[in-house]
Amino acid sequence: MTDVNGLKDFKCPGWDSMPEIELYMDQVLTLISKHFGMLFNDEDGNMTSSMINNYVKAGVVPSPHKKRYGKEHIACIFMICVLKRVLSISQIGELIARLRAERDIKEAYGLFCFELDRSVLYISSVLSGKPWRGADQTDESGAELALHCAVSAFANAVISDIILEKKDNKDEK
């Protein structure tokens, strides 16, 4: 269950706060739960070892070194953990590849953390009763806000689809 009260204190774990040593799979899964568990319902946020292995096979996460995962791996896995809710794995792979083409993984992950922190701060303020764009004072059940958020998520997913398809279409010409 998403911890609504804890959202205001959420901070994406920065590059420098990641472990300096490489971790085994079970340790990575524990780290995901520790840092991102409050953001997900149980069925949405579950990341399993099979899923991570599939992301490695798909080339979205680099292969581990002797079954151990370093900062680069963990950063990619953290990004996938959040993005998998709104993008397909191929879209996530394309997005990470584009980010990596323009900057190193530390900078790409820093940008991800900035955007995630900003978005979580926004939803925290909305859920704490601060006015949101288009708010109707009669929305006691929260239905209008839920509709607004769901439709905005859809629209943002469509924009992401279009952006990620643009380069693919250019490459085919």
* Rama region for 67: left / alpha / beta (φ>0; ψ in -120 to 50; rest): left
pTM surpassing 0.85? no
pLDDT score for 96: 93
The residues, any chain, with a CB within 8 Å of residue 116's CB and separated by 6 or more, are 12, 82
Tokens of 168: 């693919």
The residues, any chain, with a CB within 8 Å of residue 44's CB and separated by 6 or more, are 85
Per-residue confidence of the chain (173 residues) as pLDDT tens digits? 455 667 778 899 999 999 999 999 999 999 998 888 877 765 555 789 999 999 999 999 999 999 999 999 999 999 999 898 888 999 999 999 999 999 999 999 999 999 999 888 888 877 777 655 555 555 666 777 777 777 888 888 888 888 888 765 555 54
DSSP string covering 46-113: ---HHHHHHHHHTTSSPPPBTTEE-HHHHHHHHHHHHHTTTS-HHHHHHHHHHHHHHS-HHHHHHHHH
